[in-house]
Every structure is written in C-alpha cells, then in structure tokens.
Amino acid sequence: MAEIFESMVTAQSVKELREKTGAGMMDAKKALEESGGDTEKAIEWLRKKGQQIALKKQSERTAHEGVVESYIHSNSRVGVLLELNCETDFVARNSEFKSLAHDIAMHIAAMNPRFIASGDVPVEVIEKEKEIEREKLHNEGKSADMIEKILEGKMNKFFSDVCLMNQLFVKDDSQTIQDIVNSATAKLGEKVVIRRFSRYSLESEPTACSIKE
C-alpha cells in the first residue's frame, strides 16, 4: 500500500506542498505519502508534526533577534508595542515573521490580555480567582467534591481570557495564539517567542507584560 501511495507523489505535488507550507522536501514527500497524495491531508499531517517540532525547538534554542512592532487601532484610542523574537536577523527580516508580529499586536489591541502565559500569572491572582469561583459555586448549592471538579474548567476559562498564549486568535478562532506561534516556529525553522508587550488605552491603565526568564 505504501508503494501505491509513493507512486502517487510527484515532484510537482511535492513542490506545490512546499510552496504552501514552507516544509522541507523530504517532509513534504513523506506527508504526501502518508496522506495518499491528498494535499489537504498532507498539510494537516505536517501541521501536527510541525507543532511537535515547534515545541522541541522552543525548549532547546534561544531567541535574541526579532522586531518591535507597533499597532494603533483605527480610532487612535488603543495602541500596542510588541517585542517578537526569533533566532536570526535573517528570519527577523522575513515578511511572514513581520506579518505575524503585526497580527499578534493587533490581537493584543482587540483582546487586552493581562499576561503572556498561564505560568506568568501570580499565585495570589490564581488563588483569589479560585476563591471567587468557589464562593459562587457554594452559593449555587454545589457539593465540595463537585466544586473542585468544576473549578478546573473555570480556571482554564480564566486563563483563556487573561493569558495571551491561551486566547483564541482574533482572526481565526480555530487556533490559539500558542498554536500560531508553534506553526510559525515550524514553518520558519526557528524558535519564535513573544518576549513582552505594552498595551495603551484611553479608557484604562497601561498593561505591560514580559515572559518569565
């Protein structure tokens, strides 16, 4: 069966898949073989594989190059400064990397995250949120065992509201910001890191966040 699929993979199909995804030649060929020559299934195969690769690169490499991106909303009442890092100046000058920085800055303007990742949320903030939710559930008559089970879901929802990496991407709510960073890492072949951001609004105090080193 593998031989049949392999025969369905042509140099042209590999070329087209590479152009669509930025994958290496051998990865593109393997994806098409595994997907029976179906390009869409091959893209999904690469995406799953790419996210695994991305997570490995995130932990093994350092990112000290990058860009500082600014975004001002059209009403001129909200603005964002974002530092997005990569490993080399070559990728920092890449149009896709710059576009990613712009999209993330725009997302921050729209969604107003308070932290970058769940690991950045202070313990006291987490405990206070748990206390509030426990009180609500207790007042609803939930048992202690039930409260603790429900609380996990409540906290996941809290993180998805206040943490940038957990938020659904404003331009594509099928992906989180973590997903698009992982995809960028896989496609660009370098570690991509949201280092810090500041969000300014006329309606509220500035928000400034940076990752924990």
Domain residue limits, the chain: 2-60, 65-117+163-210, 122-161
Does position 203 have pLDDT exceeding 60, yes or no?
yes
* Domain 122-161 annotated CATH 1.10.286: yes
Q: How far apart are CA 144 and CA 129, in angstroms?
A: 17
pLDDT in the model for residue 52: 66
pLDDT in the model for residue 62: 76
Class of domain 65-117+163-210: alpha beta
In CATH, which of 1.10.3720.10, 3.40.50.1370, 1.10.8.10, 3.30.9.10 is domain 2-60?
1.10.8.10
pLDDT tens string 35-91? 888 888 888 887 777 666 666 666 667 778 999 999 999 889 999 999 999 998 899
pLDDT in the model for residue 127: 92
The pTM of the whole model exceeds 0.85: no
Q: How far apart are CA 31 and CA 140, in angstroms?
A: 51
